[in-house]
């Protein structure tokens, strides 16, 4: 499909419509199609029952969230240490006074 569509779009943008207007129109068509696909899939997904989380699943989710927060904090601390080291290792420029 793309092998036929990309050259066709090239010809349309070159001879029929300006590239900027063509891009806007094409984006609107893609967005419109995506909206309909999304609503169709949401309707089909709504037919299935959602699982209800129990205490064990919630506890597991909290543990994973704590792990993510700890790793993010360690990455933040390491980034700060690397910046400080980079700033102190930089050679000082002599002043021109």
pLDDT digits (tens, 9 = 90+) for 13-26: 888 888 888 888 88
Tell me whether residue 13 is in a domain: yes
Residues 40 and 14 in one domain: yes
Tell me whether residue 82 is in a domain: yes
Residues 35 and 62 in one domain: no
Q: Rounded CA gap, 39 and 45, in Å?
A: 10
Tell me whether residue 67 is in a domain: yes
Tell me whether residue 38 is in a domain: yes
pTM for the model: 0.44
Q: Rounded CA gap, 16 and 6, in Å?
A: 15
Residue 90's pLDDT is what? 61
Tell me whether residue 95 is in a domain: no
The parent domain of residue 65 ranges over: 55-88
The number of distinct structural domains making up the chain is: 2
Contact between 12 and 22 (Cβ < 8 Å): yes
Res. 96: pLDDT tops 80: no
pLDDT digits (tens, 9 = 90+) for 21-80: 888 888 998 999 999 999 999 999 999 998 888 999 999 999 999 999 999 999 999 999
């Amino acid at each position: 499909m793309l092998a036929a569509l990309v050259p066709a779009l090239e010809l349309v943008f070159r001879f029929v419509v300006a590239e900027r207007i063509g891009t806007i129109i094409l984006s609107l068509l893609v967005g419109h199609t995506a909206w309909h696909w999304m609503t169709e899939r949401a309707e089909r997904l709504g037919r299935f029952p959602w699982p209800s989380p129990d205490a064990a699943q919630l506890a597991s989710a909290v543990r994973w969230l704590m792990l993510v927060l700890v790793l993010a904090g360690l990455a933040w601390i390491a980034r700060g240490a690397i910046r400080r080291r980079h700033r102190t290792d930089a050679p000082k420029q002599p002043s021109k006074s």
